[in-house]
Amino acid sequence: MYNVCVVGATGAVGQEMMKILEERNFPLNELRLFASSRSKGKALEFKGETLTTFELNKDSFEDIDIALFSAGAGVSREFAPKAAKAGAVVIDNSSAFRMDKDTPLVVPEINPESLSYHKGIIANPNCSTIQMVLVLHPLHEKGRIKRVVVTTYQSVSGTGLKAMVELRKQSEAVLNKEEVVCDVYPYQIAFNLIPQIGDFLPNGYTQEEMKMVRETQKILADDSISITATCVRVPVFISHSESVNIELERKINPKEAREILSKKEGVAVVDDPSKLLYPTPLDGAHKDLVYVGRIREDISTENGLSLWVVSDNLRKGAALNAVQIAEKLVDKGLV
């Protein structure tokens, strides 16, 4: 049995972590909840009991075995090393340590062997990266991917609870012909799209787009894969969708691709155009799998495939992947 803490327990991902720990019956001795000074003292339900959130400080990690972080990169940079020094294994959902060469970046269905090399901190990949690499991985093993072109359609829950509230309020305002207020996003998100996630970088890409490039190469352990991404925020509450185009060294036809993907752990193929079967964000919401459909040959290039990928960004894209990492640590005796 293990002492586990959730840092950022009152946020969307933190609450999902608690839910998944309960659903999967993680071997808990004690669960401690930490939040900011604004949220300390808040009561949260877990396994029929009421737990109180405490303010995070440097002494919060005494006797903690596993620390699940979901409070943002700044908090992680400050407190994750303190947790690791206190003896906890940190599973961090922020971008703080993902590209650190000494920090494993792990999707358990792809590279669980990387966990053996952790030095106290393990990085959870970006939500949009996780669902894409789960689909890319088996195809890369069979045909070696040379290039990826991805466009994402990312839900507001990726920004957090405040963004979900903003989408609801803006939608009501538009329908009621009232003034639309923008606090979380620079533009109205209700009935609109925003082709920017994260700050713009000198190369014209956004932070989110470059996360997908670098993280994919690291997880698949292949820097030779060329990747370009366009990340778009859409007026959907939960689940990210992605249009993924890949070019392979060896031709894989759509039928073979469906067979390969149907055997991949964590992936479900929903693909029958004759019956209008393909995954939508609503299909992926509150589910653990990554769904793939619209699998077709790219008629514009040799050895190309186009795919449509959907997954719940709060679950497999964040909380579930983190808990699965914790489960692997337990199974391998690494904690």
Q: Quote the crossing angle between the two packed helices 127-143 and 254-262, to the nearest 10°.
A: 120
Question: Closest Cα partner for 318 from 93, 111, 161, 121?
Answer: 93
Q: For 130-281, where are the E strands, in sequence order?
A: 145-154, 226-233, 240-248, 267-269
Answer for the pair 135, 290: CB distance below 8 angstroms, yes or no.
Answer: yes
Do 270 and 283 form a contact (C-beta atoms < 8 A)? yes
- Residue owning tokens 């609109």: 192
225 within 8 A of 216, measured Cβ to Cβ: yes
Residues 303, 277: Cα–Cα separation, whole Å? 24
Active-site residues, by number, are: 127, 240
Other CB atoms within 10 Å distance of the CB of residue 277:
13
The whole-angstrom separation of Cα 278 and Cα 26 is 33
Q: For residues 98 and 290, give the distance between their C-alpha atoms in angstroms, rounded to a whole number.
A: 21
Q: Which of the 8 DSSP states describes residue 209?
A: H
Rounded to the nearest angstrom, the gap between the alpha carbon of residue 96 and the centroid of all alpha carbons in its chain is: 14
Long-range pairs of 253-259 with CB within 8 A, sequence gap ≥ 24: 253/297, 254/295, 254/296, 254/297, 254/305, 256/142, 257/139, 257/295, 257/305, 257/307, 258/295
